[in-house]
Amino acid sequence: MRIPPQAADRIRETWNFEPPPALYGRLDLVYDGGQIKLLEYNADTPTALVEAAVTQWYWLEDTFADADQFNSIHEKLVAKWKDLHG
């Protein structure tokens, strides 16, 4: 992902010391057949849930009716909320 070496310590620190709980994040990537490029990272935003759980699913059904996608957002959110409720 071509992360500059000088950023590695800060990334590691953020990853290890982020105040829990974090629900989810989404990486928007593009792949040209030879290289992966990170376009953006979205985390804990309600619009990302609607997009990934609803909009993408209906687009897939309308565009590729015989295809399927891996999408377990609903199940994972329910499990996380149960975990947080403790």
Query: Residues 10-25: what's their mean pLDDT?
Result: 77
Q: In degrees to the nearest 10, what's the CA dihedral of 16, 17, 22, 28?
A: -60
CA 17/CA 56 separation, integer angstroms: 32
Q: Any idea where the domains of the chain sit in the sequence?
A: 5-85
Q: Is the pLDDT of residue 41 over 80?
A: yes
Q: Is the pLDDT of residue 13 over 80?
A: yes
Q: What are phi and psi of 23, to 5 degrees?
A: -80, -50
CB 52 within 8 A of CB 26: yes
DSSP 51: I
Per-residue pLDDT band at 51 (split at 50, 70, 90): confident
Q: Is the pLDDT of residue 58 over 90?
A: no
Name the strand (E) or helix (H) holding 29.
strand 25-31
